[in-house]
A and B are shown apart, each in its own frame.
Chain A
Amino acid sequence: GAVVSQHPSWVICKSGTSVKIECRSLDFQATTMFWYRQFPKQSLMLMATSNEGSKATYEQGVEKDKFLINHASLTLSTLTVTSAHPEDSSFYICSATERGTTGELFFGEGSRLTVL
């Protein structure tokens, strides 16, 4: 099956620093990748849709200058949390869909961000 790798799994950083999270599709071409944020015992909150070679489409209320998304190739998308603050602490998950499929999503393992 399609595999999505997300790195790092856990990251702790100081307030004011930036953190980059990578999402890679290992065995397929991911024309579209999605980034979510998940709070404890809650559903996924879609942050943005990332299409290869174009600018990401952000959901309403998500600051594009704070959550920088780059989808430079068909197998890699990155999310950079800039000038992180404690309220940015969360579980971030990426997913990808394969070209030509009916849209089931393949998820990364998630990244737990803790901002001190």
Chain B
Amino acid sequence: AQSVAQPEDQVNVAEGNPLTVKCTYSVSGNPYLFWYVQYPNRGLQFLLKYITGDNLVKGSYGFEAEFNKSQTSFHLKKPSALVSDSALYFCAVRDTHNTNAGKSTFGDGTTLTVKP
């Protein structure tokens, strides 16, 4: 079984400050890890993914995430937050042993609020 935990329901940061949205995961095999963002009354948008290779992956809108196998974490980061980054963020994991391609498990989401 696979699972994802986003320990923070809410993250508040000031514009221009760095931000981190935390995610830890559990899978039986090697993980495929994803971050998605959701704006109000919209579908989710893919931000970035880790499949293999460099532990630091870069994605859309200046976001990046670091895969840490020993801590089973995949925290989302951005060096300088913008007010427009305010949204709901979801971490997701897929076990590479999962033969049902694309069937990911999502965290409960973290609401990021960036204040001017």
Contacts and interface: CB of A to CB of B under 8 A. Distances in A.
Contact of B43 (A1, A93, A97): A93
B106 A91 contact: no
Contacts, number: 66
Interface residues of B, number: 24
B41 A105 contact: no
B101 A97 contact: yes
B107 A43 contact: yes
Contacts of A31: 101
Interface stretch (B14-22, B44-52, B67-75, B78-86): B44-52
A78 interface: no
A49 to B, nearest CB: 6
A49 B105 CA distance: 13
Interface in A17-64: 31-32, 34, 41-44, 46, 49, 57
Interface of A: 1, 4, 6, 31-32, 34, 41-44, 46, 49, 57, 91, 93, 95-97, 102-110, 112
25 contacts: A1-B46, A4-B43, A6-B43, A32-B101, A32-B103, A34-B102, A41-B111, A42-B108, A43-B106, A43-B107, A43-B109, A91-B41, A95-B43, A95-B102, A102-B49, A103-B34, A103-B104, A105-B44, A105-B46, A105-B104, A107-B36, A107-B44, A109-B43, A110-B42, A112-B41
